[in-house]
Amino acid sequence: MRILSIETSCDETSIAVVDYEKDSNTYKVVSHNLNSQIDIHKQYGGVFPTQAKREHGLNILGLLEQTLTHIESDTSHTSSDSVFEKAFQYLQKERELKIMTEEIYASADSFLHKKPSVDYIAITGGPGLEPALWVGMSFAKFLSTLWNIPLININHMEGHISSVLLQKSIIDFPALSLLISGGHTELVEINKWGSYQILGKTRDDAIGEAYDKVARILGYEYPGGPQIAKMAQYIRENTNAENKYNIHLPRPMLHHSDLDFSFSGLKTAVLYLVRDLKEKYQTLDDDMKNYIAYEFEEAVADVIKAKLTKTIKNKKYSTLIVAGGVIANNFLKEIISIWAEKNNILFLKPTADLATDNAIMIALAAHVALIHDYAQVYKPDDEEFEKLNPSGDWSLNNI
Ligand code: KG4
Ligand code: ZN
């Protein structure tokens, strides 16, 4: 089974081809290309949706061509001009992409004339930034119609959960998943593939968002997560982490009875802390910033550990899957790993390159949905195909 997947939910345009080998129950990444827009969004301090949409539109054709370079094509297939016309209508909403696609299709030896040998096209249907999601969805519908390949609609968060399948292809359930990214902080119970129940989530900012906002307060560019991580690590490695400036930050929702999170108070506390330190010391130097980053990360880790501990009081889980961009963070990985060992739960996390958004995880989620018979498959001739739209707030509870 071979799947071509497309991801455009935020600021990464990514296309992959991933195989599943039934006999050995293994997944293999055949091809993957990714274009990150971080340099473009830096100037805005975060992802700017209309700009993200534009960039996806400009990059997606080139990424597809690169991804398909070494993929065999189905030489028996030819798409007539009438099929192209029909396919083309799905690009109506994407002006520049439509013009570029028309130009490429006009050349007889274009890659668009070679139907790749893939069984399905998987597309991220949400959650995410709607203008960005639309580019991927429109393009996927165009390709699906042009090549007559069925489409599978995939939830981006299910993609993040599936990102661990390259480490371990069989998951022991019940599993608990902690999803920590720039847009989400969710604790999810998984009793089997395709059955997700959100046990708790953030009431305001996501963890990654808090990292980004704190970095911004300290004067660093978007995305601030890696920078904060580096500063906190500096304190751990080069000092005995003594509290030089009497810095204390709150551990929000630590003693709440539910499993929800809240990080906007932590960010505000950093804002006041910076104001007070500047008043007291007449400056905010790198040493102080490093200590703030350190204390912020300690607070985040304490909250994560407390919520995980609270969760396992109610039910026993065999596996803990932590996914999303923030699990690229080595300190959090270590803290969670120690916690999991102590509590006798197998801890799975994606490799760093699969932690942040990518199309590989979308293909993995599509494979899983096919294997376990719950895939949302849309054939180009189906009535439902036309009606399929992305949804910016598609919850895991509604798979
Ligand atoms: O999953 P992702 O790529 O995009 C979303 O779906 O949101 O996550 C991006 C987030 C950003 O907030 C970024 O600052 C954070 O992940 N991040 C990190 C690290 N690397 C990326 N946060 C903390 N430590 C890191 N090393
Ligand atoms: Zn994501």
Question: Nearest to residue 399, comparing CAs of 140, 150, 186, 156?
Answer: 156
Looking at residue 69, its pLDDT comes to 96
Determine phi and psi for 353, rounding to 5 degrees: -70, -20
Distance CA 136, CA 53 (A): 9
Peptide bond into 223 cis (omega under 30): yes
Q: Evaluate whether 282 touches 134 at the Cβ level (below 8 Å).
A: no
Mean predicted lDDT score pLDDT of the chain: 96
Ligand nearest to the CA of 45: 1
**207 CA: nearest ligand 1 atom:** 12
Residue with the smallest CA separation from ligand 1 atom 10 is 182
Looking at residue 40, its pLDDT comes to 84
Instruction: Indicate if ligand 1 lies below 6 Å from the C-beta of 211.
Output: yes
Per-residue pLDDT tens digits of the chain, which is 399 residues long? 999 999 999 999 999 999 999 999 999 999 999 999 988 888 777 788 999 999 999 999 999 999 999 999 998 888 888 899 999 999 999 999 999 999 999 999 999 999 999 999 999 999 999 999 999 999 999 999 999 999 999 999 999 999 999 999 999 999 999 999 999 999 999 999 999 999 999 999 999 999 999 999 999 999 999 999 999 999 999 988 777 899 999 999 888 889 999 999 999 999 999 999 999 999 999 999 999 999 999 999 999 999 999 999 989 999 999 999 999 999 999 999 999 999 999 999 999 999 999 999 999 999 999 999 999 999 999 999 999 999 999 999 999
Distance CA 15, CA 35 (A): 9
**Tens-digit pLDDT profile for residues 13-52:** 999 999 999 999 999 999 999 999 988 888 777 788 999 9
Instruction: Indicate if ligand 1 lies below 6 Å from the C-beta of 181.
Output: yes
Distance CA 33, CA 219 (A): 32
Looking at residue 219, its pLDDT comes to 96
Looking at residue 243, its pLDDT comes to 79
Instruction: Indicate if ligand 1 lies below 6 Å from the C-beta of 182.
Output: yes
Looking at residue 76, its pLDDT comes to 86
Instruction: Indicate if ligand 1 lies below 6 Å from the C-beta of 10.
Output: yes
Looking at residue 42, its pLDDT comes to 83
Distance CA 224, CA 216 (A): 7
Ligand 2 centroid to Cα of residue 286, in Å, is: 31
Residue with the smallest CA separation from ligand 1 atom 1 is 325
Q: Evaluate whether 34 touches 45 at the Cβ level (below 8 Å).
A: no
**Tens-digit pLDDT profile for residues 182-224:** 999 999 999 999 999 999 999 999 999 999 999 999 999 999 9
Looking at residue 227, its pLDDT comes to 97
The one-letter amino acid code at 356 reads T
Instruction: Indicate if ligand 1 lies below 6 Å from the C-beta of 356.
Output: yes
Identify the residue whose tokens are 């046990």: 199
Looking at residue 33, its pLDDT comes to 98
Ligand 1 centroid to Cα of residue 49, in Å, is: 17
Q: Evaluate whether 98 touches 91 at the Cβ level (below 8 Å).
A: yes
Q: Evaluate whether 172 touches 318 at the Cβ level (below 8 Å).
A: yes
Peptide bond into 127 cis (omega under 30): yes
Looking at residue 43, its pLDDT comes to 77
